[in-house]
Amino acid sequence: MRASDLLKTTPAGLYCAAGDFHIDPLRPVKRALITHGHSDHARAGHESVLATRETLAIMGVRCGPDFAGATQAAAYGERIGIDGLTVSFHPAGHVLGSAQICVEAKGLRVVISGDYKRARDPTCAPFELVPCDVFISEATFGLPVFRHPDAAHEIARLIDSCRLFPERAHLVGAYSLGKAQRIMALLREAGWQRPIYIHGTMEKLTRFYEREGIDLGEVIRVTGPERPKLGGEVVICPPSALQELWSRRFPEPVPAFASGWMRVRARARQRGVELPLVISDHADWDELCETILATGCSELWVTHGEEDALVHWASGQGLAARPLHLIGYGEEEVEACEPAIPSDEADPALI
């Protein structure tokens, strides 16, 4: 069997006909296998969802208890039979509960990475390398200019800035799921003992992380009257809030943004960021290359991101490489629970 017979791209995303299931589907489908809880991968409205227990719980927190008709939890490493195929979930190191999905059929093994990273993250299980024939990788940071520094170094810069500007509030834009909690945990590791303040939209997910046993120290939801008093404090908010009315009530705010995109100055300037923090939950260029080679795959498919450069590199390494041009992934910033897109056209806001 060839991989292209096992998995096909459809308007709803990657589809496996032999098992009649989609992976991270963009539209409502009968059976969905979901890698992780970010809104571009985990949408509401499917008949049944198979995902890790944490991902199912995150979908419940984000979209309410009725996000799918039926759910089934997969433990990491558990082998699950679906119509003669075997599927299994393996840690992707991206956010809490994130998984790569391995599909095996008649000796052929395909791994769909979902979003992943290799760097250490105290808030989720580390990436597990799964040897395979075909590796389907993301390429969010698939250009050699993207090399993420040690996150601890970036956190040290944030703490240093709070010391130098004790009268200014440090507003750190960060995605609500995963990035925000990772920053809290890294701040604690760096010895930051003050309370950490969060924007209201982050509260539910942060409390969920705490219930999962991840120690984030004292985390306080910011209220209106408190805002002017938060000089020298760290306030974590969704990136979009940095430009909203909400941010104006803080004392002389230092707009910071934690993202791999901050590696490129023009990107940081475009968003009016004064303290760019290069902290990413995605693999950087070196991690992508290293991981692809380490899986031992002979074929590479690239789902989304900067596909061209990664495909060019992989071809040079003797791999059969091709881009899938999947549209609809790569914007983790969407805050509200986005239902799967019902129409034929993807929402331009998500591209």
Partner 1 sequence: MNRFAELLDRLSFEPSRNNKLRLMTDYFRSTPDPERGYALAALTGALGFQHAKPGLIRALISERVDPTLFYMSYDYVGDLSETVALLWPEPAATAAGAGHNRPPLALSEVVTTLATSGKLDLPRILARWLDALDEIGRWALLKLITGSLRVGVSARLAKTAVGDIGGKQPNEIEEVWHGLSPPYIDLFAWVEGREARPEATDPAPFRPPMLAHPIEEADLAVLNPEDFSAEWKWDGIRMQVVAGHDATGKRVLRMFSRTGEENTHAFPDLAEALAHLPAQDFAIDGELLILREGRVQPFSILQQRLNRKAVSAKHMADFPAHVRAYDLLSLNGEDFRPFAFCDRRKRLEAFVAECNEPRLDLSPIVPFKSWEDLAAARADPASAGAEADAAAVEGIMLKRVDSIYVPGRPKGPWYKWKRDPFNVDAVMMYAQRGHGKRSSFYSDYTFGCWREGENGEELVPIGKAYSGITDEELAQLDRYVRNHTINRFGPVREVEYSRDKGLVLEIAFEGINWSSRHKSGVALRFPRINRIRWDKPAKDADRIEVLEGLLRQRESA
Binding mask 270-289 for partner 1 (x = CB under 8 A): x-xxxxx-------------
Binding mask 102-141 for partner 1 (x = CB under 8 A): ----------------------------------------
User: Hey, what are 28's tokens?
Assistant: 């409502």
Report which DSSP code applies to 40.
Answer: T
Contact 304, 136 (CB under 8 A): no
Please state, in angstroms and rounded to a whole number, the distance separating the CA atoms of residues 192 and 106.
52
Give, as ranges, the residues between 314 and 333 that touch partner 1 (CB under 8 A): 316
Residue 115 is a binding residue for Zn ion (CB under 5 A): yes
Which residues does residue 236 pair with via DSSP β-bridges, in sequence order? 172, 198
Residue 231 is a binding residue for partner 1 (CB under 8 A): no
Closest separation in Å from C-beta 143 to partner 1: 5
Interstrand relation of 31-33 and 254-258 (parallel, antiparallel or unpaired): unpaired
User: Hey, what are 351's tokens?
Assistant: 């591209």
Residue with tokens 């059976």: 31
Residue 38 is a binding residue for Zn ion (CB under 5 A): yes
Q: Give the residue among 238, 233, 232, 229 at the shortest CA–CA distance from 206.
A: 238
Query: Using CB under 8 A, which of 145, 190, 294, 320 touches partner 1?
Result: 145
User: In residues, how long is the chain?
Assistant: 351
Can you tell me whether residue 58 is helix, strand or coil?
helix
Give whole-number Cα distances, 165 to 138, 159, 278, in Å: 38, 10, 20
Residue 298 is a binding residue for partner 1 (CB under 8 A): no
Contact 97, 41 (CB under 8 A): no
Alpha helix ranges (H) inside the chain:
3-6, 53-63, 151-164, 179-189, 203-211, 265-270, 285-294, 307-316
Question: 37 or 260: whose CB is closer to partner 1?
Answer: 260
Query: Using CB under 8 A, which of 247, 259, 291, 303 touches partner 1?
Result: 247
Query: Using CB under 8 A, which of 264, 327, 334, 350 touches partner 1?
Result: 264
Residue 263 is a binding residue for partner 1 (CB under 8 A): yes
Contacted entry of partner 1, Zn ion, none for residue 309, CB cut-off 5 to 8 Å set by kind: partner 1
Q: With contacts defined by CB under 8 A, name the span among 31-39, 187-195, 216-224, 309-317 that binds partner 1.
A: 309-317
Binding mask 146-185 for partner 1 (x = CB under 8 A): xx-x-------x---x--xx--------------------
Q: Which positions lie near partner 1, rule CB under 8 A?
A: 143-147, 149, 157, 161, 164-165, 242-245, 247-248, 252, 255, 263-266, 268-270, 272-276, 306, 308-309, 312-313, 316
